[in-house]
Amino acid sequence: MPKAKPQSKPGARGAAPPLFDPAFRARLCDLLAWRRDVRRFRSDPLPEADFEALLDLACLAPSVGHSQPWRFVRVDDPTRRAAVIADFERCNAEALADYDGPRRRLYAGLKLSGLQEAPLHLAVFADETTASGAGLGRRTMPETLRYSAVLAVHTLWLAARARGLGLGWVSILDPEEIAACLEVPAGWRFIAYLCLGYPVEEHVDPELERHGWQGRDAACRRVLQR
């Protein structure tokens, strides 16, 4: 698969913008609806060209001051992967202990990561020491660097779904332990640990909703007026 590129050269004068017609908008709605947190993966390896194309698209994400602070670490080493899995298992056991009653039993039955099965592991960090962007837009909100890295994750997520790939975000991890395990620079802040691969199954509804953990919350759609 060739690398994805913008349809027009950035900054080119007179370049015609693409037409996002009703058919495209309908397909975009499908993409957003079918973007799921995948935890069950096939063992098929992800083609290297597809991975490179996904990174190109992730780097089209918006960032504060055009700082582009996202940093990617591909985790292939079996020893490091085993350390990440061990950290997940420890953190997951601690989280389970915080629940009781029906919620505890429900939590114990959830599959909360695809770390064992996913063919590709990708850690995402925000470089909080980057000189890119010269500090524009983040003097009063330096955390926008991390928000920018999250936007890169979301862009990657949608791009993966559009290619029939699944992505799972593993959040039950100790950020400091993961940073130490991967030996990243001191100024990088851990944002996400992602599992990538081909999903075993497809569902339009979120897995946590399907298994009774949490349905759609009406509050998320509420708009306050001031």
Residues 66, 63: Cα–Cα separation, whole Å: 5
Sequence-distant (≥ 6) Cβ neighbours of residue 123 within 8 angstroms: 72, 73, 75, 178, 182, 190, 192, 193, 194
The per-residue pLDDT for 12 is 63
CATH of the domain at 56: 3.40.109.10
Tokens of 70: 């996202």
- Answer yes or no: is 81 within a domain: yes
E strand map for the chain: 70-75, 120-127, 166-170, 188-197
Tokens of 78: 């079996």
Give the mean pLDDT of 185-202: 96
Q: What is the pTM of this model?
A: 0.91
- Answer yes or no: is 159 within a domain: yes
- Answer yes or no: is 83 within a domain: yes
Share of the chain above pLDDT 90, in %: 89
- Answer yes or no: is 25 within a domain: no
- Answer yes or no: is 131 within a domain: yes
Q: For the chain, what is the radius of gyration of the CA atoms? A: 19
Full domain range(s) for residue 146: 37-211
- How many domains in the chain? 1
What does the pLDDT look like over 202-224, one tens digit per residue?
Answer: 899 999 999 999 999 999 989 99
Residues 31, 207: Cα–Cα separation, whole Å: 17
- Answer yes or no: is 103 within a domain: yes
Q: What is the mean pLDDT of the chain?
A: 94
SS3 35: coil
- Answer yes or no: is 27 within a domain: no
